[in-house]
C-alpha cells in the first residue's frame, strides 16, 4: 500500500473512532482539511492531530492504565494512548485503531507540531499535547503518563 493510501486508511479509521470517542465531528463526508501524523524520534510514540483533536499512542510502556471503563467495548483496545480535543478534557484512548504510523515523519526532540488550537511538543522526556484554547492536555512517555 502507498504512503498516501496508508494515511487515508488511518484518517478514515480515526474519523470512525472519533464518533465513538465523542470527538468533534468533521463537516460532512469530506476528508479533514487540517490533519497530520508524526512520531517521536524513538518511534515509540505515534501521534495524529485531526479536526481539533490530538491523540498519541505508545507502542511500549512500563505503566499500566486504570481499569477499562464500562463504556469501552471489550472488542477494542483501551489505554494504549491518550487524546484531548480543543474543548474537552483529556482521556485514555478506547479504540480499535492506532496513531502509530511507521511512515509518519519524525517530530524531532525540541520541536512543536501545531494545527489550529492543538499543539504537541516532542522532548527527550516524552510527548506533550494540549489545547491552547483550554490548556487541557496530556503527557506520555515509556515511564508514565499524565492528564491535565
Long-range contacts from 126-129, C-beta under 8 angstroms, 24+ separation? 126/40, 126/45, 127/40, 127/45, 127/47, 127/56, 129/47, 129/49, 129/54, 129/55, 129/56, 129/82, 129/84
Instruction: Determine the pLDDT at residue 11.
Output: 45
Instruction: Determine the pLDDT at residue 55.
Output: 98
- Tell me the pTM: 0.79
Mean pLDDT score, 74-83 = 97
Instruction: Determine the pLDDT at residue 70.
Output: 97
Distance CA(57)–CA(97), nearest Å, equals 10
7 phi, psi to nearest 5 deg = -65, -40
Residue length, the chain?
148
Mean pLDDT score, 62-75 = 97
The residue ranking higher by pLDDT, 22 or 98, is: 98
Distance CA(143)–CA(114), nearest Å, equals 25
Instruction: Determine the pLDDT at residue 88.
Output: 93
Instruction: Determine the pLDDT at residue 24.
Output: 34
Amino acid at each position: 500500500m502507498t504512503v498516501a493510501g496508508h494515511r487515508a486508511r488511518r484518517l478514515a479509521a480515526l474519523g470512525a473512532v472519533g464518533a465513538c470517542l465523542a470527538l468533534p465531528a468533521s463537516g460532512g463526508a469530506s476528508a479533514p482539511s487540517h490533519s497530520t501524523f508524526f512520531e517521536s524520534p524513538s518511534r515509540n510514540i505515534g501521534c495524529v492531530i485531526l479536526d481539533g483533536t490530538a491523540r498519541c499512542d505508545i507502542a511500549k510502556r512500563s505503566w499500566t492504565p486504570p481499569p477499562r471503563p464500562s463504556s469501552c467495548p471489550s472488542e477494542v483496545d483501551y489505554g494504549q494512548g491518550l487524546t484531548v480535543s480543543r474543548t474537552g478534557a483529556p482521556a485514555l484512548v478506547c479504540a480499535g485503531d492506532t496513531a502509530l504510523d511507521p511512515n509518519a515523519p519524525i517530530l524531532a526532540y525540541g520541536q512543536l507540531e501545531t494545527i489550529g488550537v492543538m499543539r504537541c511538543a516532542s522532548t527527550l522526556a516524552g510527548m506533550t499535547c494540549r489545547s491552547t484554547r483550554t490548556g487541557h492536555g496530556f503527557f506520555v512517555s515509556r515511564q508514565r503518563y499524565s492528564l491535565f
